[in-house]
Structure 1
């Protein structure tokens, strides 16, 4: 019986005096067979010459051991190399193999299997033909060389026959076998080598390259996560990119993340499924409204968090809640537009998203100049002054009466005047109205209802009502009779409390806070009154003409006079500290910004001036009318200047630039004497006896949610 020659006789001898990192080239062993083209490694393996050399070494050793034909052995090992390489190389690392052949010493000094790995060329080396290149030993992988990914040509059971034969040669079993995924045809050997092996330069270079790959991958993943959390995942995401799982919604990246060891699409973890609700709310609250709406469309999980009332409350208030810059806070004209209030703060349980949508629609109408017109009919002569809040408007007229209007029904609900000033029927007569008119109730004068709402108080003005201002407790009215009356308005009926006497001419304007009442007059004087006692605290002198307007901000007061100068006063000392002169003629109106940084003034030269309050320098004078600027109002928080003029127009301008973006001319039939605004409306009075309301929130869905508590 012919005895098969042991494969050990053909194993290369490892010389103990040869270093593992060196390889001595020698003549090929006597049993080396000539390679044919069928032994060439398949070209679809995307590796360098290292793979071909490794395959040659395995083919060579196995063919001598088994005595198989060239072509059958090459074909079998080519198909099964993915399974053989890992087991074979691990076995080689555990023991040194010595040859028992009678080869020459030069032949017996061939390097070990470790030197095969160490001597492999780097990826940057020039590629040689696999038929001409000298066979090189395999290289060590114990210093971080990336694992191989090879795809055999076949996964049939025949392909693993050589693997079974080689595994039978083991003297002791390995700790773990190779990891093989037959369904994908990918085999990645996980090889561990003795720690005493010293890696060579090629190994260190490969390890550095692998480490750089890992760092690059980590950076790509971090950059993608950063973009993901900053709202760059847009509504263009496909529906099939959003998939359900047992814990909610799992986001799949629109572009795949390529790992160093695979080319697969990596799924992102939805951060809002992991974060506490409070943190998710905080993150989303920092988005603007447009980004928040896009976030709602990302997935059901994102929609749940982004639609939260807590998120929209923060977004809404960040944009629309006014800031208080001075103490005491200035009197609020109209409404805040921030919804119901609770303890001085916006109430929590509100539809903040709908409120934001309503405010956005209203702001858009301001820009496009498309308000609805509402006419209040009842006064029989020029209406000089007005003030309003969310529920009512109060007007004073040359007809010597004060009227209170319900801003829900736009009807007159109370008239205060002397017994000799009761109006008669059909006053004023019907007048021309704009096509934008939506409400215009007929006057109640002379009717039963009109007589019922007319009230003769204990004290009243017997001359024109030229000015007024009120807060939640009192109202102050100034008249051509040289006096002011302070009214208690806390009840359903307005009750006169006391009269302020001291001016020597008609009182042209008044203002107040929780400490003082300020009045100015044609007598060129400004008087400061104690609110609680009604005593005159101080008289401010300095103007050389009638003082037409005053406004109060904390300890500072601004005034505008017919002498063409606006002045800034310190109320504690009574000293004028800054002058703001016009270019020509007198000033009829003045405004002080809420933060006390700017002063606006307008008058006979038809322009509106904006001055820097600290330096006195003119910022700009771009708002221009065709007549006297009789009225000014500054809504700094919403960035609007509203001016009324004798040219029968109301202009709305940008607070920062002064550019006018809306003009409403001839909406009344005579001069505009007063014009004030809030977030949704302008209330203006005219010489024709009517009050005009430009309502930008008329029929806007959700506008009722913006109104505060009564």
Structure 2
């Protein structure tokens, strides 16, 4: 396709789509328009042809190209004698083979002067460089041009009137935006957050009405223009101008993540005297949080107000997850409870673990829970009211703090400093990942990558298939309590009150210097960070300081309500670091009692003392692992051992 553009009368050159935009004739806008002036036209012309204006054809149509061939012989002033002799030569020429004809023409050309070569070149160019788009049926022409990206589509508009008509009448700018929204989560998110989704994936009648209404046309004008060429042109300009607005937001979003510019919204939970928000999950409409005061609170995203409180647990709500049907929560009261996500009704209470339920995950009819009792339970979810234990996995020698799984592996981490991998289908033990020097508080697993955070203040990246530690990230000053990652970033929260954003691709590159991996340090919490979740646009975090913070990295449009906006900042790490250090409690001793803080049930220490285990201890752990291959599972009816979460592994 691109080669075809180059083959036209001039070499159409792609250009910076947004640096060359000028104002549209329809009026000024806060966003630039991609319509260009003649002086800005990024097209090079061959043979010294004069540049044409924007409304003129940059490459002549096929009919115009062959206009010279329609001239009669008399108009050219040729002699009768020449015409007769030429006809004899043509008759003789026609009797030769094609190869002989080509050879003869080559010989003739060699006998000509340079000026004659130029005339022949000018004659051949329009024959060889046909406007193939103009020769195609319009439906096929639209199909061909629909494969172009934005820069080439804008260039193609300026090739000729016929190309521009194909692009405008084919609604190719709208189709390009819709294709980007359908395949790219960032595009989809921005369109939804800005309210532009109403202009996409709709019928041509709806598009006509909505676009003209958005541009200020009254009802009579909208009906009068329906189905007209003017309507098509108006929609063409609207969607062509919408594309750079979305693109500008994407570039701004990248810059904000890089520079730490955000809008901060704050929810204060008012859960005194039992302060602390241990877990959360959010979507576009709500945030659901689990608190130390034994409640689950649901907050509306638009108002940041609590819309519902679920009561039933008799201990701290340490973990939760929800989908479009249920909320499932785990507590220090040893129970797992199932709630209706719409009504808040308690549907089911699961009694299995004998100590605090520290973490849970569910998907595709399977749930996995882990506990301070050192066990992992795998459940089959038939319905919200019918959830049964399938297997119980026992191999860890301290509290199991976190689990994650997919259709291949279950991954668990413990205060015993190890990460263990199990088969999801068979629940058989697979391998142990060894490397952390103290208890492991958090992890996430996706594809082959496991990212874990520990009481040794480090983050480790692992290849789950071979059990190798790929990278160690250092920067937090206290226990790394929560961690999430996507294809671009790792975001971690720690007991030092800080949230750090890391470049995942840089972390996976062994040649990347360590100082370039940490992109941001966010310091607004005045207590330990317990849980966080993030997407392309925001981080939502919770803390022992009884707050939920929403860090929004997408620039809001002027005039759009922001809820309870706290502040917009360009981070200055030094003064904020001093403020955070003064506010965050001193590091807790690894063997702190449960009465000091419910969160210590997460077995953050898992080893006491802070020193790396010696070789004998590590060898003993490996020997124990081999033994656990044979005795690592017990049936669902056997009891769990209730050992203290901070008990050190036996050497």
Report the CA distance between 1:191 and its aligned residue. Answer: 4.7
Distance 2:360 2:146 in 1: 42
Report the CA distance between 1:289 and its aligned residue. Answer: 4.1
- The structure number with the bigger radius of gyration is 1
Distance 2:467 2:558 in 1: 44
RMSD value, Cα:
3.9
The within-5 A match list for 1:122-271 is 181=76, 190-193=86-89, 195=92, 207-209=105-107, 260-262=120-122, 266=126, 270-271=131-132
2:176 to 311, 316, 336: 311
Report the secondary structure of 1:688's partner residue: coil
Distance 1:548 1:699, change over 3 A: same
Contact 1:631–1:643, Cα closer than 8 Å, also in 2: yes
Alignment of 1:673 onto 2:505:
no
Residue in 2 that maps onto 1:377: 268
Residue in 1 that maps onto 2:464: 613
Report the CA distance between 1:664 and its aligned residue. Answer: 3.3
Contact 1:670–1:686, Cα closer than 8 Å, also in 2: yes
Contact 2:539–2:552, Cα closer than 8 Å, also in 1: yes
Residue in 1 that maps onto 2:556: 699
1:465 to 313, 317, 329: 317
Contact 2:142–2:167, Cα closer than 8 Å, also in 1: no
Q: Alpha-carbon deviations, 1:23-52, whole Å to 9, x = none?
A: xxxxxxxxxxxxxxxxxxxxxxxxxxxxxx
Distance 2:110 2:336 in 1: 83
Report the secondary structure of 2:86's partner residue: coil
Distance 2:110 2:178 in 1: 46
TM-score (norm 2): 0.57
Report the CA distance between 1:539 and its aligned residue. Answer: 0.5
277-286 vs 259-268, greater mean Cα deviation: 259-268
1:501 to 313, 328, 351: 351
Distance 1:562 1:515 in 2: 28
Distance 1:634 1:702, change over 3 A: farther
By relative contact order (CA 8 Å, sep 6+), the higher-ranking structure is: 2
Residue in 1 that maps onto 2:497: 648
Report the secondary structure of 1:400's partner residue: coil
Contact 1:599–1:613, Cα closer than 8 Å, also in 2: yes
Residue in 2 that maps onto 1:603: 454
Q: Alpha-carbon deviations, 1:75-112, whole Å to 9, x = none?
A: xxxxxxxxxxxxxxxxxxxxxxxxxxxxxxxxxxxxxx
Alignment of 1:392 onto 2:286:
yes
Q: Alpha-carbon deviations, 1:641-697, whole Å to 9, x = none?
A: 211112222122222222545323321112211111122111000110000000122
Distance 1:281 1:603, change over 3 A: farther
Q: Alpha-carbon deviations, 1:381-432, whole Å to 9, x = none?
A: 1111110011100111112221111112222212223xxxxxxxxxxxxxxx
1:529 to 364, 376, 379: 379
Report the secondary structure of 1:362's partner residue: helix
Contact 1:258–1:264, Cα closer than 8 Å, also in 2: no
Distance 1:338 1:571, change over 3 A: farther
Report the CA distance between 1:301 and its aligned residue. Answer: 3.4
Q: Alpha-carbon deviations, 1:249-272, whole Å to 9, x = none?
A: xxxxxxxx9663547985965554
Distance 1:289 1:519 in 2: 48
1:365 to 242, 256, 263: 256
Q: Alpha-carbon deviations, 1:179-212, whole Å to 9, x = none?
A: 66359xxx9983524749999xx99976334689
User: Unmatched 5+ residue regions in structure 2?
Assistant: 1-71, 112-116, 194-198, 208-238, 508-515, 562-651
The within-5 A match list for 1:255-654 is 260-262=120-122, 266=126, 270-276=131-137, 279-295=140-156, 300-301=164-165, 304=168, 305=170, 307-320=172-185, 339=192, 348-349=201-202, 353=243, 355=246, 357-380=248-271, 381-417=275-311, 460-489=312-341, 491=342, 493-531=343-381, 532=383, 533-593=386-446, 596-622=447-473, 624-636=475-487, 639-654=488-503
Contact 1:296–1:307, Cα closer than 8 Å, also in 2: no
Residue in 2 that maps onto 1:222: none
Distance 1:547 1:413, change over 3 A: same
Contact 1:611–1:619, Cα closer than 8 Å, also in 2: yes
Residue in 2 that maps onto 1:101: none
Report the secondary structure of 1:393's partner residue: strand
Contact 2:482–2:532, Cα closer than 8 Å, also in 1: yes
Q: Alpha-carbon deviations, 1:230-263, whole Å to 9, x = none?
A: xxxxxxxxxxxxxxxxxxxxxxxxxxx9663547
Distance 1:574 1:536 in 2: 12
Report the CA distance between 1:581 and its aligned residue. Answer: 1.9
641-650 vs 287-296, greater mean Cα deviation: 287-296
Greater percentage in helix: 2
Distance 2:370 2:109 in 1: 81
Distance 2:178 2:444 in 1: 32
Distance 1:293 1:191, change over 3 A: closer
Q: Alignment length, in residue pairs?
A: 417
Distance 2:469 2:87 in 1: 81
Distance 2:256 2:414 in 1: 35
Distance 1:379 1:465, change over 3 A: farther
Distance 1:294 1:619, change over 3 A: farther
Report the CA distance between 1:472 and its aligned residue. Answer: 0.6
Distance 1:212 1:411 in 2: 87
Q: Alpha-carbon deviations, 1:355-400, whole Å to 9, x = none?
A: 5554443344223321110001124211111100111001111122
Report the secondary structure of 1:697's partner residue: coil
User: Unmatched 5+ residue regions in structure 1?
Assistant: 1-176, 214-256, 323-334, 341-345, 418-459, 705-710
Residue in 2 that maps onto 1:685: 542
Contact 2:315–2:331, Cα closer than 8 Å, also in 1: yes
Report the secondary structure of 2:505's partner residue: coil
Q: Alpha-carbon deviations, 1:473-524, whole Å to 9, x = none?
A: 11111111111111111x3x21111111111211111110131121111111
Distance 1:635 1:702, change over 3 A: farther
Distance 1:663 1:648, change over 3 A: farther
Distance 1:290 1:563, change over 3 A: farther
Distance 1:312 1:377 in 2: 39
Distance 1:296 1:685, change over 3 A: farther
